[in-house]
Amino acid sequence: MKSTKSNQGRTSRNTSKKKGWTKFVFFSDNHGDCENKEVTNALVKFISKFKPHWKIHGGDGFDIRSLRKGAIGSEEYNSLDKDIDMGCAFIERLKPDVWLHGNHEYRLFQTLHSSGNGIIRDYCKDVIRTIENTLKANGCKRILPYDADKGVFQLGPIVFCHGYTVNMRSVAEHASHYAPAGGACLIGHLHTIQQANAKKHKGCVGFCGGGLFEKDLMTYSHRHLNTSTWGNGWLYGWVKGNEWKVLQAHKVGGKWVAPIDFNPQ
């Protein structure tokens, strides 16, 4: 599918013979102990074949639900140990080159600076240090904050961020705000699989690739209708100068569909 004008190129049979294209994969929202292992396994297999130059994690690699605003009952008293352990194990397995903190990781920073309990503040500091040390030990080159200005990574004409709004227009809204003219913006956060053309001179496109979560494990979300739009998957593509191509990996007929052949003329 075209993005704007002819910027996304054309598919072909041979991806290895075409030089000069940078390959990337963008994945997000595994949510620690709410990770969907079947989806992660599919992603790992895809990466081994695709061999991207950049692996970009879009945030919410940990759930941190006991620190969420409005947490009640068992959520509030839930231990973070398994959540942190599984999130760090995910990092060790996927080894992202870029990590964008999401709103769930941001809960640690919020609590660190706002809690009146010194033990809780120290715990949050230790967890943040553990996450960032794990990232660095596994080759992460960039760790970006959950910040609408600073939490943005750019690869040529494509901009990546976690996501900062939740509404019917969020995908297009992020593209209008962040993408350069003729480019694209890829986000996580919404848990949905979407593509939207946005209003901008010379055009731009927004993408959301779903996530690596298991919805049934995220019990705090079961009371919200918007979870019916959630889906599993990831985004990947190619960049060369101002040219780009973004594709969606998702399940069709019980099988993961993620073609990697690309050789524009």
Tens digits of per-residue pLDDT, 161-202? 999 999 989 999 999 999 999 999 999 999 999 999 999 999
For residue 217, give the DSSP letter. G
Name the pLDDT band for 226 (thresholds 50, 70, 90). Answer: confident
Name the pLDDT band for 265 (thresholds 50, 70, 90). Answer: low
Q: What number of residues does the chain have?
A: 265
pLDDT of res. 129: 98
Residue among 204, 201, 222 nearest 159 (CA): 204
For β-strands 204-209 and 193-198, DSSP reports them as: antiparallel
Q: Cα dihedral sign for 43, 132, 207, 209?
A: positive
Q: Are 54 and 155 in contact (CB under 8 A)?
A: yes
pLDDT of res. 39: 98
User: Per-domain residue ranges for the chain?
Assistant: 29-257
pLDDT of res. 78: 66
What tokens were used for 69? 């605003």
Could you report the per-residue pLDDT of 54-71, keeping only the tens digit for each? 999 999 999 999 886 654
- Check: CATH 1.25.40 for 29-257? no
Long-range contacts of 72-81 (CB under 8 A, 24+ apart): 75/219, 75/220, 80/127
What pTM, to 2 d.p., does this model score? 0.90
Q: How many angstroms separate the Cα of 230 from the Cα of each of 30, 115, 208, 249? A: 13, 32, 11, 14
